Structure 1
Amino acid sequence: MKRLSFVLKSALTVIAVMAMISLFWTAAYFITEAMYARFAWQPQPLVRQIITSISGFFLFGISMSIVGPFIRKRERVFWKHLMDAINRIAKGDFHVNIRADWGERNHPFTELVEGLNDMAANLRAMEEMRQEFISNVSHEIGSPLTSIRGFARALKNENLPYEQRMHYLDIIETECIRLSKLSDNLLRLAMLDSERYPFQPISYRLDTQLQSLILHCEPQWIEKEIEMCVTLEKVVITADEDLLSQVWLNLLHNAIKFTPNGGTITVQLQQQDNNAIVTVSDNGSGIAEEDQPRIFERFYKADKSRNRAAGGSGLGLAIADKIVKMHQGKISVRSQLGQGTEFIVQLPL
């Protein structure tokens, strides 16, 4: 479609130029003929043709000198607005929106303006994400540091009972562990984003990996008397085993964390066509519908108070989503408040 539009536009331009040339040369012909009759001069055909051509160029030049300034002025205004917008973007102001009033949708200036507006919009979105990221990191780091500082001051009290002193030390240790996990997750995310993380796919049994990780988490779900229902088909996959283990551990830890005592967690693995489908579901409190589209965003917490009490930072699902996408797969969630949550991971074999 674009090629056809370009061909038609080029053809119309050529026709317009030829029509203008014909018009000016016709006007030059009649003017020179009138002059010959006025002065009773009959030059040779070659001289007559040269005079007509020179007159045509002269008329064309006069017309362009009259129309040109208006066209150039419009172009100068356009380039001034464009350079002002580029300078604003260079200084960090991404709230730029240039009006494209050239009439033609496919005009080069219109396409240039739309491209610049799109670039400014993308940069603005990235800047908002950066600001939100910095704010979230500051909050996640500041909260445990404030807690550590407060309890460290309390420990200076020499009359503090031993049991209370041990309790304060446990809190400080917990907050330090939380900071360490946050630091590790931020580093892991940065490496995944930069694509410098070593990606080493191998062929291995996915069902064996899931079974091993479920047993690894056994002390946690046994402590909460959770019933673990596991159905694993034999599936061989080519993927980075270490990276995918982070996905499964995150989903398992979340399921255990937010499933009540005596609840049920179901883990299933099946092969559909050329894909491995892993589902991890629980009968916990569930996730609100309005929160579900954002749970894979960094630092987003569907239940901030619950997540903080459980020690989460809101980065686990963002890391899982990134790893799944590195494997050309997809991860999704289905959940209802009060009925539980189900995560579905689809990976190509």
Structure 2
Amino acid sequence: MKRKMSRSEIVVKGASAILFVFLLCCVAFTAAYFLTRWFYETHPVSRSDFIVQLVNWGLGLVFLILLGFVGSIVTRPKQIIIWNEMMAALRRIAKGDFNVVIDQEGKYRGQMGEFVESINEMTQELRQVERLRQQFISDVSHEIQSPLTSIRGFANTLQREDLSREEQRRYLSIIEKETIRLSRLSDNLMKLTSLESDHVEWEKQRYRLDKQLEHVVLSCEPQWLDKELDIELDTEPCPILANEELLSQIWLNLLHNAIKFTPQGGSIRLSLKKLDGAARVDVSDTGIGIPRDDQQRIFERFYKGDKQRTRTADGNGLGLSIVHKITELHGGTVRVKSTPGEGTVFEVVLPLGDSVQ
């Protein structure tokens, strides 16, 4: 990161530049004085003091210009080398080589040094973006390849003539689940793309957050009844100014995860509490928990952490990324607390909105 010069450093640099110019002027006008003095002593001519001073000043200016010209000629080859080096670096960057680092140790100073430092910072950022892009492509390819391999394998198996009706139905059911998995992956990728777009404005409206949580729990009733889970909902009236559709995605993702990773007969609890100008929603379960190392990365795209938590076929590691992004868009925070073997708590804190009383 580029360091901003302090006021004392700026004063020192300015004073140094003034002193350098002053010394050049002293050299030029001193040389002019001694030259004219020698000339008048060796060539007796009539002259007035005004003419002498005028000649001294004129000759001093000529010497000053000559010194600047000679200095530019002396430093020009170095400037050309520096410029060629920077142009070569920029051409490599334009061709996609983001490993370019211009060594500026002792070579570039002043504005040129700041320019070189900016180029190095730019290549560092581009290198990071390129690394994330390659990782993203690799993750997407891996997620797509798995269901496609299953679909291809079971489609080939279905071509066998000795399969029973029951086997055919089972293989077709697997193919259907894998296509649903692909569709969900595509859906989530589109959601993330939309959420990260700077050109999309999400409309907010006032509604009851507690009513929304009740509706989400009821919509997931078939899933938690199937696993015989004990669901507890603890809320209080809480109006909020937010995008209702986006917040619904948060609660659905968190509740689906809780149901997915909670064993048969476990329990899930959703609580809503009003804070000072904010609302806090906790989604807790008695599931398998998340290891401490994985808790730092679970909101990253495609990160699935411990294999035990990803044994189900319908996960793609994007749900919590969407939760984090929607919470961030609303100016809130999301945190996780978990103990392996005991359970997990996701805590979402959202501002109620300026116009919400």
TM score, norm. by length of structure 2: 0.90
Question: Is 1:27 equivalent to 2:39 in the alignment?
Answer: no
Kindly provide the amino acid, as one letter, of the partner of residue 197 in structure 2. Answer: S
Q: How many residues are treated as equivalent by the alignment?
A: 348
Looking at structure 2, the residues matched to 137 and 331 of structure 1 have their Cα atoms a distance apart, in angstroms, of 25
- Deviation by residue 1:210-252 (Cα, 9 ceiling, x = unmatched): 1110121122122212222322122111000001100110011
Looking at structure 1, the residues matched to 347 and 46 of structure 2 have their Cα atoms a distance apart, in angstroms, of 94
Structure 1 counterpart of 2:188: 185
Verify the 8 A CA contact 1:335 1:341 in the aligned structure 2: yes
Give the counterpart of 1:101 among 94, 101, 105.
105
**Map 1:68-83 → 2, pairs under 5 A:** 68-83=72-87
- Deviation by residue 1:3-45 (Cα, 9 ceiling, x = unmatched): 7344553354234323321332123212321332233345222
Looking at structure 2, the residues matched to 245 and 254 of structure 1 have their Cα atoms a distance apart, in angstroms, of 14
Looking at structure 1, the residues matched to 230 and 21 of structure 2 have their Cα atoms a distance apart, in angstroms, of 82
Kindly provide the amino acid, as one letter, of the partner of residue 50 in structure 2. Answer: L
Q: What is the Cα deviation at residue 306 of structure 1?
A: 3.8
- Output the aligned Cα RMSD: 2.1
Q: What is the Cα deviation at residue 103 of structure 1?
A: 7.1
Verify the 8 A CA contact 2:216 2:251 in the aligned structure 1: yes
- Deviation by residue 1:279-323 (Cα, 9 ceiling, x = unmatched): 112222222222222211111111346425241011111111111
The answer to which of 3-12 and 267-276 deviates more is 3-12
Verify the 8 A CA contact 1:36 1:42 in the aligned structure 2: no
Question: Is 1:252 equivalent to 2:252 in the alignment?
Answer: no
What secondary structure is seen at the aligned counterpart in 1 of 2:216?
A: helix
Structure 1 counterpart of 2:139: 136
Query: Identical aligned pairs, as a percentage?
Result: 46
What secondary structure is seen at the aligned counterpart in 2 of 1:280?
A: strand
Structure 2 counterpart of 1:92: 96
Q: What is the Cα deviation at residue 71 of structure 1?
A: 2.4
Kindly provide the amino acid, as one letter, of the partner of residue 220 in structure 1. Answer: Q
Looking at structure 2, the residues matched to 324 and 176 of structure 1 have their Cα atoms a distance apart, in angstroms, of 29
Question: Is 1:341 equivalent to 2:339 in the alignment?
Answer: no
Question: Is 1:238 equivalent to 2:238 in the alignment?
Answer: no
Looking at structure 2, the residues matched to 165 and 236 of structure 1 have their Cα atoms a distance apart, in angstroms, of 51
Question: Is 1:332 equivalent to 2:341 in the alignment?
Answer: no
Question: Is 1:121 equivalent to 2:124 in the alignment?
Answer: yes
Give the counterpart of 2:49 among 42, 45, 49.
45
Give the counterpart of 1:315 among 314, 318, 331.
318
Structure 1 counterpart of 2:62: 58
TM score, norm. by length of structure 1: 0.92
Structure 2 counterpart of 1:204: 207
Segments of 5+ residues of structure 1 without an aligned counterpart are none
Structure 1 counterpart of 2:355: none
What secondary structure is seen at the aligned counterpart in 1 of 2:296?
A: helix
Verify the 8 A CA contact 1:284 1:340 in the aligned structure 2: yes
Q: 1:67 to 1:196 in 2, by over 3 A?
A: closer
Q: 1:73 to 1:110 in 2, by over 3 A?
A: same
Kindly provide the amino acid, as one letter, of the partner of residue 148 in structure 2. Answer: L
Segments of 5+ residues of structure 2 without an aligned counterpart are 353-357
Verify the 8 A CA contact 2:295 2:336 in the aligned structure 1: yes
What secondary structure is seen at the aligned counterpart in 1 of 2:293?
A: coil
What secondary structure is seen at the aligned counterpart in 2 of 1:298?
A: coil
Kindly provide the amino acid, as one letter, of the partner of residue 67 in structure 1. Answer: G
Looking at structure 1, the residues matched to 34 and 169 of structure 2 have their Cα atoms a distance apart, in angstroms, of 109
Verify the 8 A CA contact 1:257 1:310 in the aligned structure 2: no
What secondary structure is seen at the aligned counterpart in 1 of 2:161?
A: coil
Verify the 8 A CA contact 2:291 2:306 in the aligned structure 1: no
Q: What is the Cα deviation at residue 104 of structure 1?
A: 8.0
